[in-house]
Amino acid sequence: MAGALTTLKGIYSIILLIFSVVLIQGLIFCRQTKLSSEINPALAFFTLWGAVGWLTVIEGGQGSLVGLASVNRKLYKESHKIAYKCSKICHKGDSLDRYLLGRQFMVVIVVFTVNISGGPLTGAEIWNFPQLFLDIFLTSGLAMILFTCMVGQLNSQVNASHYMLDYLNNYVGLFTLYVANLIEFSGLLHAAYVIQFFVGTLAGQPIESNDEPRNGIKSAFFWFRCFISLSILAFCTTVTMVALFNDQTTMWEGFEPGFSLIIFIFLICIVGMLEGMQIVFFALAKKTPAERGDGIFAEKTCALLYAGETNNLPAFMIGRQLMVVSCMFFVARVTSISLEEDEENIFGVSNAVQEVFNTGILGALMLTIVGSISWQLVASAFPLVFMRSPITYVLLRICLALECTGICQGARVLAVAHKKLAGFQLDEVYIGTSAERAEEEPLPL
């Protein structure tokens, strides 16, 4: 019975996915997306699929690099040379945190590219579909959500939760790591470090760096980038809040600005918890049960998440993505600026600058730092605190319930197809189980 239900979920999810893909391609070639209407449908088509393809590498690479951080890389030095090189770069000092910082903004930029390539224009119509149908699949963003989540994110996350070594062992993943580190080096997102330090100080556990102490020049350069990043964050937040309280965002009519702000903060916290949980769950996946923390909720979370060979980590990733997308749909409404034709530009800026505001990049940058990266860095520093939290257990239950709806079951189908084509094998085939590794004498890194 359970097998038949799973098959049914897979069938209806794949049908929805195929229809969404066809609908998006139709929008592109009918010039109903931003990039296809302003430049060329062919460019929009190739940009869309190129961006989604790279998104799979970015999403799977994160799970692999975080999960392998606790594994002695000497164990796979010969069997997975490229994965070994990635780990050597990323698992030294605070390099993993730097990668997470740059990687998250990469996701924002790539998803932004996907949206301008395949996202429908306001009032888009196609193939004489009724308005109700268009509202469900286009206005609500359902078609883009299903396409981006299942093709670009979830199938790679599902595979990366079990086949970290094989998934990471390619030059595209290595190139992506280099790009993420370059973005971090720019300092655009360094405000997240300040937030991490602040949280650690409040918790009475100051963040200790695993890098060598910074000398005068390095320290000055680091804090200069933090100052610039904080200034940019303050500007983005100010513009967004002014637009919100002046009714200049895409928020639905009838929502008071104050109420919208309260819901916005609440959802940012939920998204932040889910981002942190993702990091923690991957980080502890290769550890022994004793290393995953104690306490009632830590034990309940681990029992639910890691039990059995077919554990619930992939299911959590699917449910988590659905929950994050659902929250972000409301958040995007709050932070996306939209002016009427007769309205003055915010702060009296030029039309060119206002056009930049209207793209949503300011809100995206703010959300990346406050609602995503900062939580990931805190989770990376205090993983056991997250595991002991009852909120973590409750959110895990909700994510697993969302996954049971089967709407994104197609991601598992794609993951199985990818696994067979690529010949992925479980990590335990190469490096043994966590218990087996714990029994062996640790090797020097």
Domain annotation covers residue 215: no
Co-location of 196 and 159 in the same domain: no
Average pLDDT of the chain to the nearest whole number: 83
CA distances, 50 to each of 53, 107, 152, 345 (Å) = 5, 13, 10, 35
- Encode pLDDT of 89-100 as tens digits: 888 888 888 888
Q: Which residue has the tokens 């290393």?
A: 291
Averaged pLDDT for residues 333-338: 76
What is the reported pTM?
0.78
Averaged pLDDT for residues 267-277: 88
Q: What is the rounded distance in angstroms from the CA atom of residue 354 to the CA atom of residue 359?
A: 9
Residue 445 pLDDT grade (very low, low, confident, very high; cuts 50, 70, 90): very low
Co-location of 181 and 226 in the same domain: no
Domain annotation covers residue 352: yes
Closest CA to 166 of 417, 433, 419: 419
Q: What is the rounded distance in angstroms from the CA atom of residue 287 to the CA atom of residue 67?
A: 9
Please state the φ and ψ torsions of residue 408, each to the nearest 5 degrees. Answer: -110, 20
* Other CB atoms within 10 A of residue 208 CB: 8
Q: Which residue has the tokens 């655009």?
A: 188
Co-location of 42 and 150 in the same domain: yes
Cα dihedral angle (412, 417, 422, 426), rounded to 10 degrees? 40
Domain annotation covers residue 417: yes
Structure tokens at 339: 């002016």
Co-location of 195 and 179 in the same domain: no
Co-location of 168 and 192 in the same domain: no
Show the domain range for 137: 1-186+409-436
Residue 393 pLDDT grade (very low, low, confident, very high; cuts 50, 70, 90): very high
Co-location of 18 and 131 in the same domain: yes
Cα dihedral angle (152, 395, 260, 243), rounded to 10 degrees? -40
Domain annotation covers residue 282: yes
Structure tokens at 57: 């590498």
Co-location of 145 and 238 in the same domain: no
Domain annotation covers residue 216: no
Co-location of 182 and 226 in the same domain: no
Sign of the alpha-carbon torsion through 39, 49, 64, 271: positive
Domain annotation covers residue 65: yes
Query: Furthest-apart CA pair in the chain: how many Å?
Result: 72
Domain annotation covers residue 251: yes
- Encode pLDDT of 101-142 as tens digits: 888 888 878 877 887 788 787 777 788 888 888 777 887 778
- Encode pLDDT of 397-415 as tens digits: 999 888 888 888 888 888 8
Q: What is the rounded distance in angstroms from the CA atom of residue 280 to the CA atom of residue 293?
A: 11
**Number of independent structural domains in the chain:** 2
Determine if residue 308 is left, alpha or beta; phi over 0 gives left, psi from -120 to 50 gives alpha, anything else beta: left
- Helix residue spans in 154-215 (DSSP H): 155-160, 164-168, 171-186, 191-202
Co-location of 20 and 56 in the same domain: yes
pLDDT of 228 higher than 60: yes
Co-location of 419 and 398 in the same domain: no
Residue 309 pLDDT grade (very low, low, confident, very high; cuts 50, 70, 90): low
Q: Which residue has the tokens 């391609």?
A: 25
**Residue 297, CB-side half-sphere exposure with 13 Å CA sphere:** 14
Instruction: Quote the crossing angle between the two packed helices 216-245 and 257-283, to the nearest 10°.
Output: 140
Co-location of 37 and 178 in the same domain: yes
Domain annotation covers residue 445: no
Please state the φ and ψ torsions of residue 76, each to the nearest 5 degrees. Answer: -125, 20
Co-location of 238 and 119 in the same domain: no
Residue 444 pLDDT grade (very low, low, confident, very high; cuts 50, 70, 90): very low
Q: What is the rounded distance in angstroms from the CA atom of residue 198 to the CA atom of residue 83?
A: 34
Give residue 308's pLDDT. 59
